[in-house]
Amino acid sequence: MHSDRAPLTLKLAAAGGLLFLHLPILLIFVYAFTTEEKSFAWPPPGLTLKWFAVTWHRPDVWEALALSVRVAAISTVLALILGTLCAAAVSRTRFFGRETISLLVILPIALPGVVTGIALRSAFSLADVPFSTWTIVLGHATFCVVIVYNNAVARFRRTSGSLIEASMDLGANMFQTLRHVIMPNMATALVVGGMLAFALSFDEVIVTTFTAGQQQTLPIWMLEELVRPRERPVTNVVAMVVALVTMLPILGAYYLTRGTDQVAGQGK
Amino acid sequence: QMTEIGEGEGQLSIVAWAGYVERGETDKAFDWVTGFEEATGCMVSVKTANTSDEMVALMNEGGFDLVTASGDASLRMIAGKRVQPINIDLVPSWSSVDDRLKDAPWHTVDGVHYGVPYMWGPNVLMYNTEAFAEAPTSWNVVFEETTLSDGESNAGRVQAYDGPIHIADAANYLMFHQPELGIEDPYELNADQYAAALDLLRGQRELVSRYWHDAFIQIDDFKNEGMVASGSWPFQVNLLQADNVPVASVIPQEGATGWADTTMLHVDSENPNCAYMWFEHQLSSNLQSDLSVWFGAVPSVPAACTDGRGMQTQEGCDANGLAQFDKIKFWKTPVANCESQDECVPYYRWVSDYIGVIGGR
Amino acid sequence: MIAARSESIGTRLSDMLWRRPAVLLVLLLLPPVLWLGIIYLGSLFALLLQSFFSIDHFTGLINYRFTLSTYAELFTPANFDIILRTVTMAACCTLASAVIAFPIAYYAARYARGKWRAVFYLGIMMPLWSSYLVKIYAWKLILAKEGILTWALEGLRLNWLLEAYLSLPVVGGNSLSVSTTGTFIVFVYVWMPFMILPIQAALERVPGSMLEASGDLGARPAQTFRHVLFPLALPGIVAGSIFTFSLTLGDYIIPQIIGTSRLFIGQAVYQHQGIAGNIPLAAAFAVVPIVIMGLYLWGAKRMGAFDAL
Amino acid sequence: MSAVTFDKVSRHFGAVRAVDGVDLDIAEGEFFAMLGPSGSGKTTCLRLIAGFERPTAGDIRIFGEPVADLPPYKRQVNTVFQDYALFPHLNVIDNVAYGLMIAGQGRKPRHKAADEALEMVRLGGYGARRPSELSGGQRQRVALARALVNKPRVLLLDEPLGALDLKLREQMQEELKTLQRQLGITFVFVTHDQGEALSMADRVAVFNEGRIIQVGAPEDIYFRPEVPFVADFVGSSNVLPAALVARLTGENCPAAIRPERLQLAEDGPVMARVTGLSFLGLTTRVSFEAEGTRLTALLPQDAPRPAQGDLVALTWAEGDLHLMRAGL
Amino acid sequence: MSAVTFDKVSRHFGAVRAVDGVDLDIAEGEFFAMLGPSGSGKTTCLRLIAGFERPTAGDIRIFGEPVADLPPYKRQVNTVFQDYALFPHLNVIDNVAYGLMIAGQGRKPRHKAADEALEMVRLGGYGARRPSELSGGQRQRVALARALVNKPRVLLLDEPLGALDLKLREQMQEELKTLQRQLGITFVFVTHDQGEALSMADRVAVFNEGRIIQVGAPEDIYFRPEVPFVADFVGSSNVLPAALVARLTGENCPAAIRPERLQLAEDGPVMARVTGLSFLGLTTRVSFEAEGTRLTALLPQDAPRPAQGDLVALTWAEGDLHLMRAGL
Ligand SMILES: Nc1ncnc2c1ncn2[C@@H]1O[C@H](COP(=O)(O)OP(=O)(O)OP(=O)(O)O)[C@@H](O)[C@H]1O
Ligand SMILES: Nc1ncnc2c1ncn2[C@@H]1O[C@H](COP(=O)(O)OP(=O)(O)OP(=O)(O)O)[C@@H](O)[C@H]1O
Ligand SMILES: NCCCCNCCCN
Ligand SMILES: [Mg+2]
Ligand SMILES: [Mg+2]
């Protein structure tokens, strides 16, 4: 067993798996350039850039995008606060019910989205909460907490507890310690967690359909467009741009956690 | 009940069937919303529903002003007090409504009107003209396995509607082919009749690859999935033909089920003034005429066929079934204490049994 | 100056928290516990409550009286079929995901170095985070009867192979996009990336010496895989399967776009809630995945899968 | 004056009695070592002094002042952590200057003071490096400088040499001792290495199971253990059971005898069988089995060596047999 | 017969010459130690024997048979890994029986053999435990049993005692030696601890930078180092530079003298200043500075001790100054 050389079958299986993952996505990219508007002729009869211009001038796309960005941004901020607090509590102290807390945090992502969705939906209707940006945020923040939590816990685990003690030992009170030691050490983990949470919220449909009422986030817009298309390539342009744009936080997360033992985006 | 129409509230939200409320987004020529908005200042938003059940659910949930409910939904909403009585005196064009619709039982209860008729039409048999050398004459092409004129079986190439109301289509078929069952009304079935209809549908399950649920998905399936025959609405036929897909439609010998839709006002509507403005608009403007062309339906205002306010013509109205009113069995909600016999299978059983049939039970 | 600083509010508050660490703990935990406990658990509880109501079948209005009849409805053959079908699908997808994900995770964990590491990372993350809807739609284009797969197979003159497969009962159909196989493929495609990272994390924790020890004791590579590598990766697989299983269990968009029109639990919940307005039945259906995932999480925890999450 | 006093101090974690009724009195300027096996409560004692733990019972005073309500950042005590706990996001100079920054000193003066502290631990010129760019021994010295720059009155060190390899360790031991002598600060030093405790400390406290078993100067601990535990733990003395001692001396108590004081002889009070021999360079270690007791002798390089299995007589000089209390 | 032979074996990793032209001949039944500082290529040598690495040049034979094309699972060699590498998902008995299971033995007989192996390492009755429920020393013995149960002809041990604490370590050293003697298997033992190599091995190879510097019996290595590197590394001899040796003896080469052989005297060839003193229990370590060279002496407990800063004369017995080759 010479550990630096992979067997051929493994190489083939891994490459095959990655191809399986990527070819369908590339397809969408190709269709963003097709000249055929109504149906999906393959191969595309011709290629054009006009759909980018068309997309640019579609106000519904911009509205959906704005809502999605707003929802994702607010959810990310909430998730950052809640996830970090929870991670701090769980990793710094042992207390009764610690396990229960981590289970509670994992639950929204471990239970299917429909469950979260319909639960929130029925709670809204019982409590007579009208649909708004905030009802969407409520759902998104709930399952984004775990992303931040996972990243923060992993970082807390790596940052030795004695750092905090060292800081207090050197005269810093808890708030000074927070500012001078904890925050600088947590920063990249939180940025990574925040970026991943943003990406997760930005792409979420299943819970959103239940909590959005009549509002359209970008994924809901896409769902609508895919089913009742007006200009199909526009959907593909949006999809492609969204895919490329979400890659930025992912790449960022990679470069921020490179060389650490933690795999960014784990446990999404 | 309203007694007078005040200032418009500036907005109006409508639950409607796909294609029912167009603002020229799919085809610029078909737009009966922009004018309304300009005239009244009521900005219209539309929520598309695919089935009557969905409409009922949306209205139960609330937040909408109007709904274009079919007969199988309207009575449920009236019974559930989700819609309010309409003061027809506030709708000046009421008199122009087709007399056959004015007091139709699906929106009139104890003489009280609960809506304004919108549009009606048949559920047609849509077929692919390349698979069918001649127009099919019977619904059997979607109920029983046969070899089509292109030499291949219809198995896997037909669709059926993904809503429990499709049981009525089966009953309608049996009414013609098995008179011994004694079906008088496809929406009023006793246990035996109902069982026979389900059996027919179980046989159909073998032929159907996927049930259609959404008009646009059906359009896709006829384009990309090799579908050749299905119960459908004229709307899909029109759009497919516009895309040069070789399809046509027919009302076969068994007759057809159909829909007669009524615009109804939510009991808690926050925009009743705009809603009454819409009632008048739907009867008096180009809407009836253009929509009947666009959707392939029959206007509730017969004059719309001829008076040139929109695109529709007398021939068009005839083609869409103007004269067939009596042959169409309009959708209505099956209830236990039915009129034609002692006891009928109620709608909730239709719902769960149809899920079972699609699931292979 | 220093004395003044030391008595700043921060210091005094800090002193208090040092003397009462429990207060600090409570302050830290309060917001997340309130959020998750009230908003999330509260909603779940509200849902649970609804499942004990019933619906008036004619008006579609909820009858707020306690009853178990809604649960009884779950066990009608048609509904029970839905549950069985969904669980079977979730299990199959989980299995297939594990099989496909393992080599990728294994290669990434053990062999990918330097720039290949980045390539693998992005290669795994990109599909994981690119739009779910768009991926489903891409598959519809591929699997449709007139779709790309047919086109490609025609080019290769392999149509007969597809035809032969589609003629099989249960898994076949008129085209892949209206078959159970189609649903399966798309489920696997969409959720499989969730399996890779936990397996990779588990494999990265297996020290190389463990594999060498096995070889040293006479095991051929295949035996080492079976007796050492696989058992040690198992917690990672279980962690990943929490996602693949749960996500399949609850999805309603994929089977609606690709499949045979036979319902899955997610669709049942969605339709009963949104389309039929039967919230009690939808709630009862939603309790099914809660119970299944509850058992699953309990088992996973016992296997130590949470550490691999 | 006492630098640190413990008055019946206990720290229990649930059922675990980490520190259990400890009395302690560390004099100002003393180099004090806490020695004991793993889990015996040494670290917990140190953390009680620093303020990271609070006693469940008893009183702690630092320079006479009760510290029950004094958080760590208000104690004139600094700690060198076992894992150094250098701040990874700060470079060396900012690590060292951290305490001064918190105290509100300006950039210039605190960097100057930090530079001096670095000079003192012979790391002048390393200020700009990150902790990750230093070797273990260098990190240890940065941690030391970071603590010393605050001019604490007591310096706590928790196994500061544990992670270093043998050579570096011996070197650091000497440096620490020199430094303590220069500065005159009280050092409280935790270790589980007997040699380290003996070679560095003015006084040693031997811990076991949360209690202090014996406190005294290194020579006392080494040559005059009061109980078998100390004899065995500090320098691996041979412990003779009470029965054997009774036969030999008439006193009914256990006794200790150091391996290097056991001698092979023609004839002697104890007959033993040789069970093992190890060449250790400086000495040869011989293991025996005598009347059910395992004994070890260290023979000088030039002494004649017995062979495995030989039956030999063991003897010792008068004062080498050290009688102890029973118990532990 | 030779158990293992290396013929000009090299293993390079890119530019790193982990093992660089090593010739080696390990006799059957021998207890052979590889000693050297970190990174000197010991582990790589062991991995070459086990088959985890393949030489970039040279030939390896095991019992005369070339093993270039033999994967690890076909070599009659077993390894005790430094981190033990016990399978965490198997209990102790299944860990030990692993090799037998792979060899196709049934459950009964392999558990019986594993039980016997556990008895041999004095862990009878521990079979049902998980490795995580064992202490370090117990794990080490399980790893040993797991290797031995396969009846290898050569047993490779990579710093098997590295993680153990002092007491356990000494005990295990003796046990390993006893076991090797009983079984007669060839042991190849890697360590960077001089004492361990000297006390356990029949022969020791001292590594540095991928090469073997000296091979010989422990006494040879200890008392007769051939080069300063060996003198310094094995037992921290004082190395006197060639210039000083030239003045003292006329020979122009470096020389070694062991710390325990340096004596304080009224008068002597070298004058030195005392720079440090440490009580080590058994001895007192005194550091000196003499003509720019750091020297260390270990004085016996009863010798008179100088004070810090004293200027003293150092002397030694005739044969204690050991002349060496220059170089390394
Ligand atoms: N926070 C804690 N919670 C529970 N038990 C603890 C805690 N801290 C220490 N203990 C227990 O208290 C006992 C003493 O621990 P302590 O760390 O003081 O030992 P030590 O002498 O420093 O040992 P070592 O040499 O291994 O560092 C141990 O049994 C330990 O497990
Ligand atoms: N797989 C490898 N790739 C690159 N360099 C390696 C590899 N394995 C070992 N080396 C290098 O080879 C040299 C010898 O390493 P080896 O592990 O044999 O040393 P060692 O003597 O066992 O040291 P230690 O006492 O620290 O275990 C080191 O410089 C090491 O960094
Ligand atoms: N690419 C995003 C996939 C969406 C997964 N959502 C999981 C949410 C679970 N509640
Ligand atoms: Mg400790
Ligand atoms: Mg090594």
Pocket of ligand 2 (CB under 6 A): E 13, 16, 18, 36, 38-44, 192
DSSP per-residue letters across E156-183: EEESTTTTS-HHHHHHHHHHHHHHHHHH
User: Token pair of A263, please?
Assistant: 């795999």
Q: Where are the alpha helices (DSSP H) in B285-330?
A: 287-295, 314-320
Q: Where are the alpha helices (DSSP H) in E105-217?
A: 107-120, 136-148, 166-183, 194-200
Say if ligand 3 is within 6 A of residue A109 CB: yes
Question: Which of D50, D79, D102 is facing A172, going by the closest CB pair?
Answer: D102
**What is the pLDDT, as a whole number, of residue A266?**
41
Residue of the nearest CA to atom 10 in ligand 3?
A113
Query: Rounded distance, CA D262 to CA D316, Å?
Result: 5
Note whether C304 contacts E: Cβ–Cβ < 8 A. Answer: no
* Percent of chain B clearing pLDDT 70 (strictly above): 100
- What pLDDT tens digit does each residue of chain A (268 aa) get? 344 577 888 899 999 999 999 888 888 788 778 777 666 667 777 777 888 888 888 888 899 999 999 999 999 999 999 999 999 888 877 777 777 888 888 889 889 988 999 899 888 888 888 889 999 999 999 989 988 998 888 888 777 678 888 899 898 998 998 889 888 888 888 887 888 788 889 888 999 988 988 788 999 988 888 777 767 778 888 888 877 777 777 777 777 766 554 443 343 3
3 state SS of E98: helix
With CA atoms as reference, report the closest residue to B334 among B356, B354, B361, B359.
Answer: B354
Instruction: Give the count of beta carbons closer than 10 Å to the beta carbon of residue E266.
Output: 7
How far does A80 lie from chain C, in Å, by closest CA? 11
* CB-CB neighbors (< 8 A) of C240 in chain A: none
CA nearest to A171 within chain C: C6
User: Token pair of A223, please?
Assistant: 């769902």
Question: Which of A125, A213, A227 is facing B216, going by the closest CB pair?
Answer: A227
3 state SS of B153: strand
Reply yes or no on whether the pLDDT at C259 is more than 70.
yes
How far does C22 lie from chain D, in Å, by closest CA? 13
Query: Rounded distance, CA B158 to CA B228, Å?
Result: 6
How far does A84 lie from chain D, in Å, by closest CA? 19
B360 CA distance to ligand 1 middle (Å): 64
Total residue length of chain A? 268
| Predicted confidence (pLDDT) per residue in C118-157, tens digit | 888 888 888 877 788 888 888 988 888 888 888 888 888 8
Measuring CA to CA, how many Å separate A169 from each of B291, B295, C11, D155, E217?
79, 79, 14, 11, 52
Q: How many CB pairs under 8 A join D and E?
A: 69
| Predicted confidence (pLDDT) per residue in C5-41, tens digit | 447 888 889 888 888 888 988 999 999 999 998 889 9
**What is the pLDDT, as a whole number, of residue B127?**
96
**What is the pLDDT, as a whole number, of residue A39?**
63
Which of the pair, A131 or B138, is modelled with greater confidence?
B138
E47 CA distance to ligand 2 middle (Å): 10
Query: Rounded distance, CA B127 to CA B105, Å?
Result: 33
Query: Rounded distance, CA B249 to CA B135, Å?
Result: 8
CA atoms lying within 13 Å on the CB side of residue A92: 20
| Predicted confidence (pLDDT) per residue in B275-290, tens digit | 999 999 999 888 999 9
Domains and CATH numbers, chain A: 63-218 (1.10.3720.10)
Angle between helices B191-207 and B166-177 (to 10 degrees): 110
Residue of the nearest CA to atom 19 in ligand 2?
E39
How far does E256 lie from chain A, in Å, by closest CA? 43
Residue D187 dihedral angles phi and psi, to the nearest 5°? -110, 130
CA nearest to C221 within chain E: E73
Residue A83 carries which DSSP code? Answer: H
For chain E, state the CA radius of gyration: 23
Q: How many CB pairs under 8 A join C and E?
A: 64
**What is the pLDDT, as a whole number, of residue E163?**
65
Three-point CA angle B268, B273, B277, nearest 5°: 125
Residue B185 carries which DSSP code? Answer: B
CA atoms lying within 13 Å on the CB side of residue E63: 10
Neighbours of chain D (3+ CB pairs under 8 A): A, C, E
Residues 6+ apart with CB under 8 A from B122: B234, B251, B256, B257, B258, B321, B324, B328
Contact flag C174-B226 (C-beta cutoff 8 Å) = yes
Query: Rounded distance, CA B206 to CA B208, Å?
Result: 6
| Predicted confidence (pLDDT) per residue in C85-100, tens digit | 999 999 999 999 999 9
* CB-CB neighbors (< 8 A) of D146 in chain A: 170
**C-beta separation of D80 from D158 below 8 A:** yes
Contact flag E276-D195 (C-beta cutoff 8 Å) = no
**What is the pLDDT, as a whole number, of residue B357?**
94
CA nearest to A42 within chain B: B224
The ligand minimizing its distance to the Cα of A112 is: 3
With CA atoms as reference, report the closest residue to A30 among A172, A237, A243, A245.
Answer: A237
**C-beta separation of E244 from E293 below 8 A:** yes
CA nearest to D174 within chain E: E276
Which position has the token pair 């989205």? A113
Q: How far is CA B7 from the centre of its chain?
A: 32
One-letter amino acid for residue E167 of the chain: K
CA nearest to B239 within chain A: A38
How far does C248 lie from chain E, in Å, by closest CA? 30
**What is the pLDDT, as a whole number, of residue E188?**
96
**C-beta separation of E149 from E96 below 8 A:** yes
CA atoms lying within 13 Å on the CB side of residue C201: 24
The end-to-end CA distance of chain D, in Å, is 32
Measuring CA to CA, how many Å separate E322 from each of B332, E207, E257?
114, 21, 6
Pick among C73, C256, C271 to test the B interface (most B CBs inside 10 A): C271
Residue C226 dihedral angles phi and psi, to the nearest 5°? -65, -40
Question: Which of D71, D87, D90 is facing A168, going by the closest CB pair?
Answer: D71
**What is the pLDDT, as a whole number, of residue C306?**
65
Q: How far is CA D299 from the centre of its chain?
A: 27
Question: Which of B56, B155, B209 is facing C277, going by the closest CB pair?
Answer: B56
Note whether D195 contacts E: Cβ–Cβ < 8 A. Answer: yes
Residues of A in CB contact (< 8 Å) with D are 159-160, 162-163, 165-173, 176, 180-181, 184-185
How far does C11 lie from chain D, in Å, by closest CA? 9
With CA atoms as reference, report the closest residue to A239 among A18, A7, A32.
Answer: A32
| Predicted confidence (pLDDT) per residue in E108-120, tens digit | 999 999 999 999 8
CA nearest to C7 within chain D: D74
Query: Rounded distance, CA C272 to CA C278, Å?
Result: 5
Query: Rounded distance, CA A203 to CA A219, Å?
Result: 6
So where are chain E's domains?
Answer: 2-229, 244-323
Confirm whether the ipTM is greater than 0.90. no
Pocket of ligand 1 (CB under 6 A): D 13, 16, 18, 36, 38-44, 192
With CA atoms as reference, report the closest residue to E180 among E202, E165, E150.
Answer: E202
> What is the CATH class of D244-323?
mainly beta
- List, for chain D, all residue ranges whose pLDDT scores fall below the cut of 70: 163-167, 235, 327-328
**CATH architecture group of domain E2-229:** 3-Layer(aba) Sandwich (3.40)
Residues 6+ apart with CB under 8 A from D287: D274, D275, D276, D277, D294, D295, D296, E174
Q: Give the number of the atom of ligand 1 that is nearest the alpha carbon of residue D41.
A: 18
Residue of the nearest CA to atom 18 in ligand 1?
D41
Three-point CA angle D76, D78, D84, nearest 5°: 170
How many helices (H) and strands (E) would you count in chain C? 18, 2
Three-point CA angle D280, D282, D284, nearest 5°: 45
Pick among C125, C142, C228, C229 to test the A interface (most A CBs inside 10 A): C125
So where are chain C's domains?
Answer: 9-63, 74-303
| Predicted confidence (pLDDT) per residue in B196-224, tens digit | 999 999 999 999 989 998 888 899 889 88
**C-beta separation of E149 from E92 below 8 A:** no
Note whether B157 contacts C: Cβ–Cβ < 8 A. Answer: yes
User: Token pair of A120, please?
Assistant: 């929130």
Note whether D88 contacts A: Cβ–Cβ < 8 A. Answer: yes
Query: Rounded distance, CA B354 to CA C262, Å?
Result: 11
Which runs of E-coded beta strand occur in chain D? 2-13, 16-27, 31-35, 57-62, 65-66, 77-80, 154-158, 186-191, 203-208, 211-216, 238-240, 255-257, 263-265, 270-279, 283-290, 293-300, 311-315, 322-323
CATH H-level superfamily of C74-303: MetI-like (1.10.3720.10)
Residue of the nearest CA to atom 31 in ligand 2?
E39
Measuring CA to CA, how many Å separate A168 from each of A93, A176, A182, D79, D114?
17, 9, 12, 10, 18
Question: Which of E170, E219, E260 is facing D282, going by the closest CB pair?
Answer: E260
Question: Which of D173, D174, D260 is facing E282, going by the closest CB pair?
Answer: D260
**What is the pLDDT, as a whole number, of residue B290?**
92
Contact flag C209-E85 (C-beta cutoff 8 Å) = yes
E18 CA distance to ligand 2 middle (Å): 6
Measuring CA to CA, how many Å separate A141 from each of A108, A243, B22, B69, C306?
10, 21, 36, 37, 22
Say if ligand 3 is within 6 A of residue C252 CB: no
